[in-house]
C-alpha cells in the first residue's frame, strides 16, 4: 500500500518574526503557535527574498529570486511551479487565499485541483466591486494580457477608493480581505473530505495586512492601551493612506504607535486562534502527528521602524526576517525537543523542502535547497550570502509595466550573517549595516573608512553589481514587468 504524505503550508501576510516566544517575545500574542514551536524545527534566520507579496511568492512557488532570476508576476505559464509539480505527481492540491495578487489573473490557481479565491468572493457583493471583478474575468477569458496590464492602474485606483470609503464611513469597520475564520473554515471543510489521502494544502491569511480590523475581543487580549471607536477610525483612515517618504500627520503621537501595534498584534492573535481550531480538527481526525506543517510569511511588516508603516519600498530586516516553523511528521518520536537552527536560509528553500516532505524529487529549475538536509546533517551547503530584491519607482506608484518614459529601478540587498549591503538603483544609494552589533539597522556604515569595512563593502558591492548588470543586460530589449500591485504597498 502506497504511503500517505500530507503537507500543509500556512503563509501569513506581513508576519514579523518577533511575535513568537521562540524569538524572544513574551507577550503571549500567538499561544497556539508558541505551542507548535515546541514540537518543531525553528529556523531563526529565514530571509524573505523580497518585501512585497508578488516577488516574495515568486520565490516561494518558483524557488527563484525575484528580479535576479526573472520578472516575478504573473507566474510564467510555461514553467513549473510548486503546485504544478505536486499535482503532476497525482497528489490532491488545494489553495485558499484572500490576496488580490495571488489569484487566477496572476496564474496562482495553476496546479491546484481546488482553488478558493476568497478575495473575489469577499468583494463580490457591491455593484462597483462586481464590475471590477467582471473586467478582470472578461480580459482573462479573451487572454488580453496586455490590456490587463495597462488597465491595472485604473482598476487599482477604483479598488483603493472603495477601501477608503469602507473605512471612512459611519458603518461598521470591514476589512477588504476574507478573515482568518473564513480561511480556516474553508480549509477544515476541504480537509474533512480529503484528509484520508495524500494532499498539499496552502492557506494564506491576510488579517495582519493593513488596514487592521481585528475583532474587539482579540484587541483586549493583547492591547497595551484601550482603543476607542474614535481612535480606531483614525488609525484605519490614517494607516490605510500612509505612504513612505511623507511626513506623519500633525496629530500623530507616540500613543498611536502603541495603538497601531496593538491592532497588529490582535490580528495575529485572531489568526492564531483559528490556527488552533485547525490543529484541533487535525487531531480529531488523528492525522496531526502524521502531517508536515510549515508556518511562515511572505514578508514582514514595518511598525514605524525607519519611519515606515507597512511594507513599502525598502529591504530592512523588519520586512525581510520572517518566521519559519517546520513541524515534521511524528516529530515527538524522532526528537526529544524543539530544534533551532541559526544558519541562513531563504524563501527559495521552501519549495524544495516541501517536495522532499511529499517524497517528490527536487525539480531541476528550482534554485533553493532542501532544508531537511540541514536537519539530517546531510550534504547541506550553508549559504555565504543571500539576495533580496524588488523593482520600484518611488514617483510612479500605480503601474505594473515598465513604459518607455517611466523607468523602474532595482533595489537589492546582499547579506551575510554579520553584514548587509542595500543598494537603491534609483537613488544610486548604498547602506551598510553590521547586523550583529546593530540589528535594528540604524547606523549606516557605508561612508565609514576603515580597511576591514572597505573590504566588506567591495565584496558585497561586487556581488550586487554582478546581479544588476546581468539583469539589465537581459532586459534591454523588453519592458521590466513589475508586479500587479501598487509598487510601494502590497
| DSSP reduced 3-state for 343 | strand
pLDDT of residue 406: 56
Q: How does pLDDT run across 285-314, given as a tens digit for each residue? A: 999 999 999 999 999 999 989 988 888 789
Give residue 121's pLDDT: 67
Is the model's pLDDT at 128 over the cut of 50?
A: no
Report the first-to-last Cα separation within the chain, whole angstroms. 45
In this prediction, residue 127 has a pLDDT band, given cuts at 50, 70 and 90, of very low
C-alpha cell of 362?
A: 527536487
Specify the long-range contacts of residues 434-443, CB closer than 8 Å, at least 24 apart: 435/317, 439/317, 440/305, 441/306, 441/316, 441/317
Average pLDDT, the chain: 83
Q: What is the CATH number of domain 6-383?
A: 3.40.720.10
State residue 90's pLDDT score.
96
| Residue 323 pLDDT | 98
Interval 65-113: pLDDT, tens: 998 887 787 899 899 999 999 999 999 999 999 998 899 988 999 999 9
Residue 164 has pLDDT above 70, yes or no: no
Which residues, in sequence order, are CB contacts of 307 under 8 Å at separation 6+?
244, 248
More confident residue, 277 or 225: 277
Determine phi and psi for 286, rounding to 5 degrees. Answer: 60, 40
Half-sphere exposure of 475 (CA within 13 A, CB side): 24
User: Average of pLDDT values for 20-47?
Assistant: 96
Going by their DSSP bridges, the two strands 6-12 and 291-297 should be labelled as parallel
| Angle (nearest 5°) at CA 235 between 234 and 238 | 80
348, 324 contact by CB (below 8 A) = no
Give the pTM: 0.86
Q: What is the CA radius of gyration of the chain?
A: 22
CA dihedral 236, 219, 99, 273 (to 10 degrees): 180
CB-CB neighbours of 144 under 10 Å = 13
Name the packing angle between helices 229-241 and 254-284 (round to 10°): 90
379-405 residue pLDDT tens = 778 899 999 998 887 665 433 334 445
pLDDT at residue 399, as a whole number: 38
3-state secondary structure of 10: strand
d(CA 437, CA 232): 37
Q: Are strands 339-346 and 41-47 parallel, antiparallel or unpaired?
A: parallel
Report pLDDT for 157. Answer: 55
What is the pLDDT at residue 216?
84
Name, in order, each residue with C-beta under 8 angstroms of 291's C-beta and a sequence gap of 6 or more. Answer: 6, 7, 8, 282, 327, 329
pLDDT reported for residue 481? 40
Tell me what pLDDT residue 36 has: 96
Cα separation, 473 vs 16, in Å, equals 35
Per-residue pLDDT tens digits for 184-237:
999 999 999 999 999 999 999 999 998 888 888 898 888 766 677 777 766 666
- Residues in CB range of 478: below 8 A, 6 or more apart: none
Distance of alpha carbon 336 from alpha carbon 389, whole angstroms: 38
Position 178 pLDDT exceeds 50: yes
Q: d(Cα 227, Cα 236) in Å, to the nearest integer?
A: 12
In angstroms, rounded to a whole number, what is the distance separating the alpha carbons of residues 53 and 486? 11
pLDDT, tens digit (0-9, with 9 covering 90-100), for 240-258:
554 543 455 566 667 778 8
Q: Worst-scoring range by mean pLDDT, 12-26, 33-47, 464-478?
A: 464-478
Sign of CA dihedral 335, 295, 284, 201: negative
Rounded Cα gap, residues 451 and 433, in angstroms? 16
Residue 487's pLDDT band, with cuts at 50, 70 and 90, is very low
pLDDT of residue 312: 73
Amino acid at each position: 500500500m502506497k504511503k500517505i504524505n500530507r503537507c500543509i503550508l500556512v503563509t501569513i501576510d506581513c508576519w514579523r518574526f518577533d511575535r513568537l516566544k521562540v524569538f524572544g517575545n513574551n507577550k503571549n500574542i500567538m499561544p497556539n503557535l508558541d505551542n507548535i514551536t515546541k514540537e518543531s524545527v525553528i529556523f531563526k534566520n529565514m530571509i524573505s527574498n523580497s518585501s512585497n507579496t508578488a516577488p516574495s511568492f515568486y520565490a516561494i512557488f518558483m524557488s527563484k529570486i525575484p528580479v535576479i532570476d526573472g520578472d516575478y508576476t504573473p507566474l510564467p505559464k510555461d514553467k513549473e511551479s510548486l503546485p504544478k509539480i505536486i499535482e503532476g505527481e497525482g497528489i490532491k492540491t488545494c489553495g485558499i487565499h484572500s490576496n488580490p495578487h495571488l489569484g487566477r489573473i496572476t496564474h496562482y490557481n495553476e496546479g491546484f485541483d481546488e482553488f478558493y479565491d476568497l478575495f473575489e468572493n469577499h468583494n463580490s457583493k457591491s455593484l462597483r466591486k462586481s464590475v471590477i471583478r467582471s473586467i478582470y474575468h472578461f480580459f482573462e477569458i479573451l487572454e488580453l494580457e496586455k490590456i490587463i496590464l495597462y488597465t491595472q492602474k485604473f482598476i487599482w485606483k477604483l479598488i483603493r477608493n472603495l477601501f477608503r470609503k469602507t473605512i471612512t464611513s459611519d458603518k461598521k469597520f470591514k476589512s477588504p480581505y476574507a478573515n482568518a475564520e473564513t480561511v480556516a473554515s474553508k480549509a477544515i471543510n476541504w480537509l474533512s473530505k480529503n484528509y484520508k489521502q495524500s494532499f498539499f494544502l496552502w492557506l494564506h491569511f491576510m488579517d495582519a495586512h493593513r488596514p487592521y480590523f481585528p475583532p474587539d475581543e482579540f484587541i483586549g487580549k493583547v492591547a497595551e492601551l484601550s482603543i476607542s471607536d474614535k481612535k480606531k477610525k483614525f488609525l484605519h483612515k490614517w494607516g490605510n493612506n500612509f505612504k513612505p517618504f511623507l511626513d506623519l500627520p500633525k496629530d500623530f503621537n507616540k500613543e498611536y504607535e502603541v495603538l497601531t501595534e496593538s491592532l497588529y498584534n490582535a490580528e495575529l492573535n485572531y489568526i492564531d486562534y483559528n490556527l488552533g481550531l485547525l490543529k484541533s480538527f487535525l487531531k480529531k481526525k488523528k492525522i496531526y502527528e502524521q502531517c508536515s506543517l510549515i508556518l511562515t510569511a511572505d514578508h514582514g511588516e514595518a511598525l514605524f521602524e525607519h519611519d515606515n508603516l507597512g511594507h513599502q519600498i525598502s529591504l530592512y530586516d523588519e520586512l525581510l526576517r520572517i518566521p519559519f516553523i517546520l513541524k515534521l511528521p511524528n516529530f515527538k518520536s524522532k526528537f526529544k525537543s524543539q530544534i533551532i537552527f541559526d544558519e541562513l536560509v531563504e524563501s527559495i528553500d521552501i519549495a524544495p523542502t516541501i517536495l522532499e516532505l511529499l517524497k517528490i524529487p527536487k525539480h531541476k529549475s528550482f534554485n533553493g535547497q532542501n532544508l531537511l538536509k540541514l536537519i539530517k546533517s546531510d550534504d547541506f551547503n550553508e549559504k555565504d550570502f543571500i539576495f533580496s530584491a524588488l523593482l520600484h519607482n518611488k514617483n510612479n506608484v500605480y503601474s505594473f509595466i515598465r513604459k518607455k518614459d517611466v523607468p523602474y529601478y532595482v533595489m537589492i540587498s546582499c547579506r551575510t550573517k554579520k553584514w548587509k549591503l542595500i543598494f537603491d538603483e534609483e537613488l544610486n544609494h548604498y547602506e551598510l549595516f553590521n547586523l550583529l552589533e546593530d540589528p535594528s539597522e540604524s547606523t549606516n556604515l557605508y561612508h565609514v573608512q576603515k580597511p576591514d569595512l572597505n573590504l566588506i563593502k567591495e565584496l558585497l558591492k561586487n556581488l550586487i553589481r554582478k546581479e544588476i548588470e546581468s539583469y539589465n543586460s537581459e532586459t534591454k530589449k523588453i519592458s521590466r514587468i513589475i508586479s500587479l500591485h501598487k509598487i510601494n504597498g502590497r
